[in-house]
Amino acid sequence: MVVKAFRELGHEAYPYAKYYQENRWVEGRPLLDEQDWDLILFMECNDGDPQYPELKITRARKTACWLFDTSYHADRYKRLVDYFRFDHLFLANPLTIQEYKLWGYENVSYLPYACDRELHGRSLEYPKTRDVVLVGSIRDDRRHLAAALSRLGVELELVGDVFREDYIDALASAKIVINQNPDAGRGLLNMRYWEAPAAGSFVLTEAADYSEQPIDLNNGFPYNDTEELALACQSFLEHEDRLTQVTALCQKNVIANHTYTSRCQAILTTIFPHHA
């Protein structure tokens, strides 16, 4: 998606990566030492992706990284950043930005996940066969959340082991998608927060302290605890006209302002301000 976004912006971009959990290169393996590069952008999701230490010796005007789950494995990320010594750091969790600044990194910016219009976009007319879902790993904390909501009169369906198109279709099939992180991920607006609105579903997301970061919370509705979450689910489901209206507004907002193309433009503007 990121390579596609840079290409949409009119730049030559090449992926240096293997397909997730496959020993197969995306578009073939580029020969790094054949030319000087304007930018090497290292991306890390910490979910089993292979590492590419050879990128350290690649000739590039600027190097940057875009890191996502920084709060889950802080030591691993710190070692990675220390090894590469990137010119710029982009972090998806705003609550970890100050930590990196305290470690001596000056060029640190907040940059969250996003959506892709073509990949994640679904019509608002997509059949809504589910009321409330949480799509992702089925963990004990999410089972406990489902049980607690059930006691409060809301049935939460946990949908796991769905990937690619099936994952997006699962989001699109729900009237309401709950976005919940484990405690270590507090502050991270993960993929669902952007992808579910693009797929035409309304998001209820855990509230966090975003006071110091310019985060757009117009994609969904924050909740503070299980009781508030249950009341929000019941209220939106009882007033489907309102739910349909706010879902449409959230989809319009995320597709207009929070695509990977806009994120890549932000990267270029930050790193090469005189060429923006």
Question: For residue 177, which amino acid is it?
Answer: V
Backbone angles phi, psi at 181, to 5 degrees: -110, 155
Pick the CATH number of 117-257 from 3.30.365.10, 3.30.2320.50, 1.20.1250.20, 3.40.50.2000: 3.40.50.2000
Q: What is the pLDDT of residues 218-256, one digit of tens each?
A: 677 888 899 999 999 999 999 999 999 999 999 999 999
Distance CA 215, CA 222 (A): 13
Question: For residue 116, which amino acid is it?
Answer: D
Is there a contact between 199 and 173 (Cβ–Cβ < 8 Å)? no
Domain extents in the chain? 2-114+259-275, 117-257
Is there a contact between 221 and 203 (Cβ–Cβ < 8 Å)? yes
Distance CA 103, CA 97 (A): 10
> Tell me, what DSSP letter sits at residue 33?
G
Q: Where are the beta strands (DSSP E) in the chain?
A: 37-44, 60-67, 88-91, 108-110, 130-135, 157-159, 174-179, 202-206, 220-223
Q: Exposed/middle/buried for 246, CB within 10 Å: 0-12, 13-18, 19+?
A: middle
Distance CA 242, CA 13 (A): 42
Q: Exposed/middle/buried for 6, CB within 10 Å: 0-12, 13-18, 19+?
A: buried
Q: What is the pLDDT of residues 77-94, one digit of tens each?
A: 888 899 999 999 999 888
Q: What percent of the chain has pLDDT over 90?
A: 55
pLDDT confidence band for 47 (50 / 70 / 90) = low
Using alpha carbons, list the distances in angstroms from residue 235 to 66, 133, 134, 239. Answer: 38, 16, 18, 6
Number of other residues whose CB lies within 10 A of the CB of residue 138: 13
Say whether pLDDT at 166 is over 50. Answer: yes
**What is the pLDDT at residue 210?**
54
Tell which residue, 226, 237, 230, 150, has the closest CA to residue 202.
Answer: 237
**What is the pLDDT at residue 34?**
73
How far does CA 111 lie from the centroid of its chain?
9
Number of other residues whose CB lies within 10 A of the CB of residue 215: 16
